[in-house]
Structures are given as structure tokens and as C-alpha cells.
Amino acid sequence: MTAASRFEALRKAVNDRLSLAVQTEWGDIPEPLRGAMAYSLNGGGKRLRPVLLLAAHELIAPWDEAAMRFACALEMIHTYSLIHDDLPAMDDDTLRRGRPTCHVVYGEGMAVLAGDGLLSLAMEEMLSVRHPRAFEAAACVARACGVRGMVAGQCLDLSHEGEAPTEELVSAIHRGKTACLLTAPLEAGLILAGADGEQLAAGRLFGLDFGLAFQIQDDLLDLTGDEKLLGKHVGKDEAEGKLTWPALKGPAQARRDMERLTEEACAALEGAFGEKAAFLTGLARESTGRNV
């Protein structure tokens, strides 16, 4: 199986599971809350975080029901963060993946609740898993998306907009906003699969460096990408004085840093898992060349 078809197979498994949940398990969630949550969750995302979690689990053992539940929870958390981030009081985005954002369709109040609901449901889902290490894995996801992780990154991003960027500040924003939630799938997948300390450390390093590289690529695409391919407005970061790595270092140096981080990420994972790491390292390397 090629890396692309393996990604597609994992992505499909996640999509099938999420569709089933929305159609069956979500039946008792009142409208329009259920609709708003489903609208954003089924917005055509790459499912990168759940795929990372399942693939991390497969470094040690085939993924199972517990891993799939955690994978879906990660996607719910990612979706909640996008819904709140798009709000007028935050980034004020009206378009995402080629569709109007949640608050444009459902109103601001319902968008706030849809985000709250997805975060709560993600926690509920993880805590419904019967698995000896579910508690530890859920704790790690909670830390990653919390006030020393993703929410911290959002706070720094929001409160320093328009300031002259420093390397320290931009790193902290990228670590919080993006890298934490790309590290969490590695950690949670490996914890559930029974990884030892060394394997877990390698997975963390991969997630962190890949996450930072991924954010640089995201910012480069905002600078130079194709609006139609991306399905969102581009050039907004520059117009709004967002603190990005390309703004700090220039696009050429930013690209070099992205490539270095990707190689460091891959080296860490290969060191711990050898050839088994090929799918994840391939995924990381491909993503530095992505145009969507």
C-alpha cells in the first residue's frame, strides 16, 4: 500500500466513524446545536490529527476501538478550536474549506455553543473508553488543548496581534496553536498502544517539530497560496499583522527552517521505530510540499 492510499484508508475509517456517530449517537443532541456541530465537523477536513493518532498506534500495534474513539475526539477538539477561532471577536473568518463558517450559518451564539459542545463531547467520548490507559491518554489530550497548550497559543495570538514579532513569541504561539494539538495524537496513540518512555519521547519530538513545520507551511500558503485550492481567504495574516514565521524571517528562511524541522522530526521517529516510521515520516515530508 502506498503512503497516499494508506492515508486515504485511515481518513475514510475516521470519516465513516464520524458519520455514523453523527447519524446515530448524536440523535439526542438538540437542534440546531447538533446541526451546527455536524456542519463544522463534516467540513471536509484532512483528518490529519485522527490519522496521526491511528498511525502512531500502529507503530506498536494495530489500532483498535479505543484508538478510534480518541482519534474522533481529537478531530472534535480541532473543529471546536476552528469554530471559536473563526468568530468575529477572534479571527473574524467567514470562509473555511470553501464554505461559510459556522457562525455565518448558525449565528454567533450557536457557534459558541457548538464549539463548547464539541470540546465537551470529545472529553465525554474519551472518558467512555474502557481501556487501562485511557485515563492517562485523556489527561494528555486535556493538557494539550488547555491553558498551557492550545488555548494559551490562541491567547498569545489574540493579545499580541499587530506587534513587532520576536522569535520567542512566534515560537510560543505556533507551539500552542498548532504543535500541541499535533503532538497530542502522537502521545495519545502511543500511550494507548503501550509505548515505553523512549518511544513516547520520540513521538513527542516528532509531533512538536512536525507541528511547527506544519504551521510555517500554513503561513507560507497564506502568503503565496491559491485561494481556490485552499478554500479560504489568503493574505489575511499580512493584512492583519499576524505574527508568523515568514513575517519574522522572510519566506526563504522560513522555508529552510520548515525543512530542517521536518528532518529533525523524521530523524527522531526513525531513531525509535526504524522502518515502521516510514508512513509518518513520509506524511511529514509530503506536507512541507503541500499546496492545500
In the structure grid, which three cell numbers stand for residue 30, read together?
A: 438538540
In the structure grid, which three cell numbers stand for residue 243, read together?
A: 505574527
- CA 65 to chain CA centroid, Å, is 21
Q: How far is the CB of 31 from its own copies (least distance, A)?
A: 8
* Contact pick of 22, 123, 200, 278 for its own copies (by CB under 8 A): 123
CA gap 263, 245 in Å, rounded: 18
The verdict on 104 binding its own copies (CB under 8 A) reads no
CA gap 53, 70 in Å, rounded: 8
Confirm if 275 and 224 have CB atoms less than 8 A apart: no
CA gap 269, 74 in Å, rounded: 21
* Contact pick of 90, 164, 229, 292 for its own copies (by CB under 8 A): 90
Q: In this chain, which stretch among 134-142, 222-230, 263-271, 275-283 interacts with its own copies, using CB under 8 A?
A: 134-142
Q: Which is nearer to its own copies, 6 or 204 (CB)?
A: 204
User: Which residues from 35-64 bind its own copies, rule CB under 8 A?
Assistant: 37
Per the listing, cell 473508553 goes with 129
Strands 95-96 and 99-100: antiparallel
Q: Which is nearer to its own copies, 8 or 161 (CB)?
A: 161
User: Which residues from 154-193 bind its own copies, rule CB under 8 A?
Assistant: 154-156, 158-159, 172
The verdict on 22 binding its own copies (CB under 8 A) reads no
In the structure grid, which three cell numbers stand for residue 202, read together?
A: 520520540
* Contact pick of 9, 23, 94, 107 for its own copies (by CB under 8 A): 107
CA-wise closest residue to 268 among 176, 204, 197, 179: 204
Q: Which is nearer to its own copies, 142 or 234 (CB)?
A: 142
The verdict on 147 binding its own copies (CB under 8 A) reads yes
Q: Which is nearer to its own copies, 73 or 213 (CB)?
A: 73
Confirm if 182 and 149 have CB atoms less than 8 A apart: no
* Contact pick of 22, 113, 223, 267 for its own copies (by CB under 8 A): 113
Q: Cα separations (Å) of 168 from 118, 165, 210?
A: 31, 8, 18
Residues binding its own copies (CB under 8 A) = 26, 28-34, 37, 84, 87-90, 107-113, 115-117, 119-121, 123-124, 127-128, 134-135, 138-139, 142-143, 145-148, 151-152, 154-156, 158-159, 172
